[in-house]
Amino acid sequence: MTTEPFIAFATRPDAPALEIRINFGVFAGRDATPAELDELAKELLPEVSEVSIVAEVRHEVTEESEVALHQVRVQVASDQLPESGAERREFQIRLLAACERWANACVADRHGELTEL
Sign of the Cα torsion 8, 33, 49, 71 reads negative
- H or E element, residue 20: strand 18-22
pTM for the predicted model, two decimal places: 0.81
Q: Give the count of domains, the chain.
A: 1
Tell me, yes or no, whether 41 lies in a domain.
yes
Residue 53 lies in a domain: yes
**Range of the structural domain that residue 45 is part of:** 18-109
Residue 5: inside a domain: no
CATH number at residue 93: 3.30.70
Which residues are within 8 A (CB) of 12 and not within 5 positions of it... i.e. 6 or more apart? none
Considering the domain boundaries, does residue 114 fall inside one? Answer: no
Residue 37 lies in a domain: yes
* Residue 95: per-residue pLDDT: 96
pLDDT one-digit tens code per residue, 15-70:
789 999 999 999 999 999 999 999 999 999 999 999 999 999 999 999 999 988 89
